[in-house]
Amino acid sequence: MDKKRFPDKKSVEDHKYDLSGVNLSGADLRGAKLSGADLRGANLYGADLSHAFLRSADLRGANLRDADLRGADLRGQDIDDLKSSGAIIDKE
């Protein structure tokens, strides 16, 4: 199955975009710059967020089941919450 490509990953660079409630399931967000983005309640099921910049992004209520967060910048995130949500993250 081909993953959906997020249109112009650079378009989210250095901005605090409101992506709350957006369906990004299966999206290819590798390396996306989403620091400070509002992703509350977003559907990120199975999304590839590896090596994405998610520093201080608001992920409250987001569906992160099977989302790949390996190598992502997760500063400011509650790692235990991410683990319990079903996200795939680096082993500590």
User: Residue 59 pLDDT more than 60?
Assistant: yes
Per the structure, the count of domains in the chain is 1
Torsion of CA 88, 89, 91, 92, to 10 degrees: -150
Q: Per-residue confidence at 91, pLDDT binned at 50, 70, 90?
A: low
Domain containing 68 equals 24-92
Q: What is the mean pLDDT of residues 3-18?
A: 57
CA-wise closest residue to 59 among 71, 72, 30, 10: 72
**Res 1: pLDDT:** 39
In this predicted structure, the answer to whether residue 18 has a pLDDT above a threshold of 90 is yes
CB 56, CB 33: distance < 8 Å: no
| Residue 63 DSSP label | B
The mean pLDDT value of the chain amounts to 86
The CATH number for 38's domain is 2.160.20.80
What's the burial of 89, exposed, middle or buried (CB within 10 Å: 0-12/13-18/19+)? buried
**Residue 5 forms part of a structural domain:** no
Domain contains 11: no
